[in-house]
A = this chain, B = another copy of it.
């Protein structure tokens, strides 16, 4: 009963993460209501972005240029390398404005279950990059999940052969976090790493 063009649009929208058939229909109706202000600009932006955004060969970031503007910026701290799972994590750290080194995006985490080994991630490229570019500290900024931490342990081990110092993000109570809502693991970590005031 829905025209086939609209049906195709709804099916494509339903493939986006976080959207299902019902929300895809809602989005499609919203778009049809705002054709010139939203629907056509979105079509245009999707097309432009798909054509222009490249993956940086050095770090794995997404940018209109390759190498990306972070990798070619020589005002950043040369010997400092931050390892992240994906581009969203890189963006999150950049938003915080607290890191001035360079990045290396792994593209995921190790997973025996899904058959993802070091070769499926950018781990060989990382080892080569560390060996050839005078990096003195590697910060493992991986998610505090089982997969993230497994990958962190693997990397810490693999990076032992290099001269770089390997560090990891601190665990503890998030700013604004209420103790009552925190899980036991976080509380245990925060207690264990308590500091003198």
Are A91 and B1 in contact, CB atoms less than 8 angstroms apart?
yes
Is there a chain B Cβ closer than 8 Å to A98's Cβ?
A: no
Stretch at the interface among A14-22, A145-153, A167-175, A176-184: A14-22
Complex Cα distance, B23 from A26, in Å, reads 16
Q: In the complex, what distance in Å separates the CA atom of A159 from the CA atom of B95?
A: 58
B46–A42 CB distance below 8 A: yes
A189 within 8 A of B: no
Whether the pair A32, B53 counts as a contact (CB closer than 8 A) is: yes
Write 22 A-B pairs (CB below 8 A) sorted by A numbering: A3-B52, A3-B53, A3-B64, A5-B53, A5-B64, A6-B62, A8-B45, A9-B45, A9-B46, A9-B48, A15-B38, A16-B31, A17-B27, A18-B27, A25-B88, A28-B49, A32-B49, A32-B62, A43-B43, A43-B44, A43-B50, A46-B46
Name A40's closest neighbour in chain B (CB-CB): B50
Say how many copies of this protein the assembly contains. 2
Contacts of A13 in B (CB 8 A): 42
Our pick among B2, B26, B94 for the contact of A17 (Cβ within 8 Å) is: B26
Q: In the assembled complex, which residues on chain B have CB atoms less than 8 Å from the CB atom of A31?
A: 16, 46, 49-50
**Nearest-CB distance from A82 to chain B (Å)?**
13
Interface centre among A32, A42, A87 (most CB of B within 10 A): A42
A105 to chain B, nearest CB (A): 11
